[in-house]
Amino acid sequence: MLNLDTLLLVQVCVTLLTTALLVASACYTGSPPELRWWALGNLLVSVGLAMTNLDGLPVVLSMVVGYGVIAFGLGLVLRGLRVHCSDTLSWRGVAVITVLALLVSAYFSLIVPSLRARLCFSGFYFALLNWLCAVTIARHGGWRGVIISVIGFTVLGLALFLRGVHMLFHGDPADVPSSLVMGASMLVIPLAQVCIAFGLILMVMWRYAERLRRLSTLDALTGALNRAGLEIHGKRVALRAQRGRRSLAVIMIDVDFFKTINDTYGHPVGDEVLRHLAGILKLELRPYDLLARFGGEEFVLVLDGSDLAAATKVAERLRARIELELVEIDALSVRYTASVGVVSSDQHGYDLIALISAGDAAMYEAKRTGRNRVIGG
């Protein structure tokens, strides 16, 4: 037979350790807000559990306020999860979660005292809150980073729910200490708490890893791929086109007289020109095409499934639109043009470096022959 006192001690120790882990993770400069909500919520759940299990406390504190503190802590955890998933849970929602626990536990503790009813309610209610946490992060997706937390919240909710069912149908409060269901649930709950704590930290780690990956492959000014990103993704696109026996086209675009723009209007205007150009180029992108900032004012488009003729039409359309557009910043209106070089794998093969080199040569030929034109290579 499982010893309930020992399991209760294990549960309390694991709760304190997971709380300490989350608090330590949240206590550094720049920690995401959701991590602080999780840490504070877990801390309050620990306080609430201690209040409900300490002998000698007044009923109002142990059986009413204790349940309210647990509910408030779970509300904060749910709020943190919603924030992590780019959503929100208002303070009114957290207050409703807390007040409902306070009112029902007060009713079954002070007005119509019933240990059985209170234990049933706490089991079902806290199970529901844990399942809401599981659903929140499951809907967010990215299973590689969240699956451990989903399992933890689901299992914890199931353990609490079964405890409530047991009390509902077999619930003689005097038999609780010897109940196999109670003992098993108190064995499962600490394991679920460990899964939740590590899962929450992993979620933050995956988020930061994704941000670092994006920072390492994207140009901060324009949002296009940088050269490292082009090398990584461009090789995949070229290999995919080659395997599918489709043409692969590269369009090189360079802003004409960009140094003059910087010297005349200043670098902030030059930066705005580059952002404006990137925005125009992005409008031509299909889901399987790539846009990268290749140099200072030079961009490259990689078009999967386009031969030289099709890519030249795209390039001419872009050149004409760039010539007609105005860049407006503060009281200034600036026009600019671009020289464009176009090449295709039909003439130069599928090696991306060779294609870019040929496209660069075609683009410089456009500059030598008068600028603001498209040259095919």
Whether residues 290 and 164 fall in one domain: no
Asked which of 167, 187, 214 is the last residue of a domain, the reply is: 214
Question: Is the domain of 108 the same as that of 243?
Answer: no
DSSP state of 171: -
The pair of structure tokens assigned to 148 is: 């451990």
The domain tally of the chain equals 2
| Phi, psi for 90 (deg, rounded to 5) | -65, 160
Query: Is residue 121 domain-shared with residue 148, that is, in the same domain?
Result: yes
Residue 164 domain flag: yes
Same domain, 22 and 109: yes
Q: pLDDT tens digit string along 48-66?
A: 888 887 777 888 888 899 9
Q: What's the pLDDT tens digit per position in 5-24?
A: 565 666 667 777 777 777 77
Assess if residue 219 is contained within a domain.
no
Per the domain annotation, does 255 fall within a domain? Answer: yes
- Rounded CA separation 377/14 (Å): 67
The active-site residue out of 284, 297, 323, 328 is: 297
With respect to residue 183, please indicate whether it lies within any of the assigned structural domains.
yes
Kindly report the CATH number assigned to the domain that includes residue 144: 1.20.1070
Active site annotation includes 316: no
Residues 6+ apart with CB under 8 A from 72: 41, 44, 48, 94, 97, 98, 101
Element (H, E) at 202: helix 180-217
Integer Cα distance of 197 and 133 in angstroms: 13
Q: Please tell me the distance from the alpha carbon of residue 42 to that of residue 130, in angstroms, as a whole number.
A: 12
Q: Is the pLDDT of residue 219 over 80?
A: yes
205 and 233 assigned to the same domain: no
Rg (CA), the chain: 31
What DSSP state is assigned to residue 254?
Answer: E
Q: What pLDDT band is residue 321 in, cutting at 50, 70 and 90?
A: very high
How much of the chain exceeds pLDDT 90, in percent?
A: 51
- The answer to whether residue 1 scores a pLDDT higher than 60 is no
Same domain, 232 and 362: yes
Residues with Cβ within 8 Å of residue 368, at least 6 apart in sequence: none
Token couple for 185: 């649930």
Place of tokens 């900032």: 293
Number of Cβ atoms within 10 Å of the Cβ of 218: 17
Whether the predicted pLDDT of 107 surpasses 60? yes
Same domain, 204 and 352: no
DSSP state of 225: B
Question: Within a domain: residue 141?
Answer: yes
Please state the pTM of the whole predicted model.
0.66
Three-state SS at 191: helix
Dump strand ranges (E) for 135-238. Answer: none
Distance between CA atoms of 25 and 6, rounded to whole angstroms?
29
Classify the phi-psi angles of 326: left when phi > 0, otherwise alpha if psi is within -120 to 50, otherwise beta.
beta
Q: Are residue 202 and residue 241 in the same domain, yes or no?
A: no
180 in the same domain as 75: yes
Q: How far apart are CA 46 and CA 200, in angstroms?
A: 17
Kindly state the tokens that stand for 159: 């353990």
Please provide the average confidence, as pLDDT, over all residues in the chain.
Answer: 86
Calpha distance 312→226 (Å, rounded): 24
Residue 221 lies in a domain: no
Given a contact cutoff of 8 angstroms between Cβ atoms, the answer to whether 104 and 76 are in contact is no
249 forms beta bridges with 303, 344
Its domain, for residue 336, covers 227-376
Contact assessment for residue 39 and residue 25, using Cβ atoms and an 8 Å cutoff: yes
Are 136 and 185 part of one and the same domain?
A: yes
Residue 128 confidence class, pLDDT cut points 50, 70, 90: very high
pLDDT of 198 higher than 70: yes
253 and 114, same domain (yes or no): no
**DSSP code of residue 109:** I
Is the pLDDT score of 359 beyond 90?
yes
Last residue of a domain, one of 192, 214, 236: 214
285 belongs to a structural domain: yes
Q: Which long-range contacts (CB under 8 A, 24 or more apart) does 47-52 make?
A: 47/73, 48/72, 48/73, 49/11, 49/12, 49/15, 50/12
Do the domain assignments include residue 298?
yes
Amino acid at 357: S
